[in-house]
Structure 1
Amino acid sequence: MTYQDLISSWSTFSNNIHAFSQQLGLDRLELECDHTALRVNSNQSADQLRQAFAKVGNIISDNMINGRPILIIELDTPLMMGSTAIECVELPYPGEKTYPQEGWEHIELVLDCGATDCDTLAQALLEKAPQLAPVLAGDTDVKVKMSSPKGDKERLANPTIAFKKNGLCVKIHSHGIKAVIASEAE
């Protein structure tokens, strides 16, 4: 997995993820897409991508989350998904899990509701997108995972709801990645 592979595959990934967002009805909510994330299976790939991304952006966070380094890179030139500018890339170093496919894995959208737990985030999401009730109830072919990942230095709770289907993933969280990073410095 090289940086050039990622750039070459961005158009296909962004079109597919946008279509999935539309299927869920998330596009109508006009949520900020604060970052996109990669998956790699080797430290060597992660190191090479770290070097490549450092040439086109700045590493604004290098934090241990669930026992592995996860970088957030703020890009000099945002990636575009349709008319949406995505300023940051999440580069997690591999953990114990091996991914069937390396490359772009998900986007994260911010539902600015101040939720500090997954139940509150789900309620806020349902208020804005009631069509997601059967999805959240597990009555569709979309898989839903709720979690509250936390960095070693984070002070801001940021619950997450992930929607997954056909190798695509869209995550919703209550605070933008830059606000979470800023909480680490407090």
Structure 2
Amino acid sequence: MNYAQLQQSWPKFNQRITHFLHQLGLADLALKCDHCALRVNSKEKAELLVDAFEQAGQVISNNMINGRPILIIKLHTPMQLNGASVPCVELPFPSDKVYPQEGWEHIELVLPTTATTCEALISDLSRKVPSITAIIEGKTDIKVKLSSPQGDNERLANPTVAFKKDGICIKVHPHSIETIIASEQ
């Protein structure tokens, strides 16, 4: 997976993720997509992508998270997702896990809330989208994962609920990646 292949695969990913947004009932909320993320299986591919993305934007964060570097690149020209701007790309270096498919993997949405725990986030999300409760309770084929990822210097709680299906993922959290990065300063 190289930079040109990523650019070429964006429209198909955009279509799949938009369909998934509708399936989850999140499309009508018009939540801000603060970043998209990709997956690669080799350090060499990640390094080549860093070089390419540095031409398209600026690295605004390079943190160790769960034992591996994860870069956030703020793009000079945001990506477009169903007509909305996506200002940043998350480029994680590979861990021990091998991904079945390299390329675009997920988007992250900001749900305006004061939630500081996954339970509070789920409660707020379920109030806004009651139909998502069945998904969270495991009554569908959509996998749900709760987490509270944190970089070494983060000062804001940013609980996350992730919805996964067919090799793509949509994550929802209270704070944008740029707000989290600012909290580290």
After TM superposition, is the score higher than 0.5? yes
Matched AA of 1:3: Y
Q: 1:32 is matched with which residue?
A: 32
In the TM superposition, structure 1's runs of 4+ consecutive aligned residues that sit over 3 Å from their partners are none
Please name the residue that 2:180 is paired with.
180
Paired with 2:69 and 2:115, the residues of 1 have a C-alpha distance of 25
Given the alignment of the two structures, is residue 102 of structure 1 paired with residue 102 of structure 2, yes or no?
A: yes
Letter matched to residue 102 of structure 2: E
Q: Which runs of 5+ in 2 are unaligned?
A: none
Q: Does 1:78 align with 2:78?
A: yes
Q: SS where residue 120 of structure 1 aligns?
A: helix
Residue number in structure 2 paired with 1:57: 57
Query: Is the counterpart of residue 120 in structure 1 residue 133 in structure 2?
Result: no
Q: What residue number does 1:5 align with? A: 5
Deviation of 1:19 after TM superposition, in Å, equals: 0.5
Deviation at residue 69 of structure 1 after TM alignment: 0.3
Does residue 66 of the first structure (1) align with residue 66 of the second (2)? yes
User: Partners of 1:55 and 1:114 in 2: how far apart?
Assistant: 36
TM, length-normalised to structure 2 = 0.99
Stretch moving more, 2-11 or 111-120: 111-120
Match of 1:153 in 2: 153
8 Å contact 1:37–1:90 — kept in the other structure? yes
> Where do 1:6-21 residues align within 5 Å?
6-21=6-21
Counterpart Cα distance in 2 of 1:59 and 1:25: 33
Name the TM-score, length of structure 1 as normaliser: 0.98
The one-letter amino acid paired with 2:135 is V
What amino acid is aligned across from residue 18 of structure 1 in structure 2? T
* Counterpart in the other structure of 1:163: 163
Once the two structures are TM-superposed, the CA of residue 30 in structure 1 deviates from its matched residue by 1.0
Alignment correspondent of 2:111? 111
Whether 1:131 aligns to 2:137 is no
Aligned residues: 185
Distance, in Å, in 1 between the alignment partners of 2:81 and 2:176 is: 18
Which residue identity is paired with 2:176? G
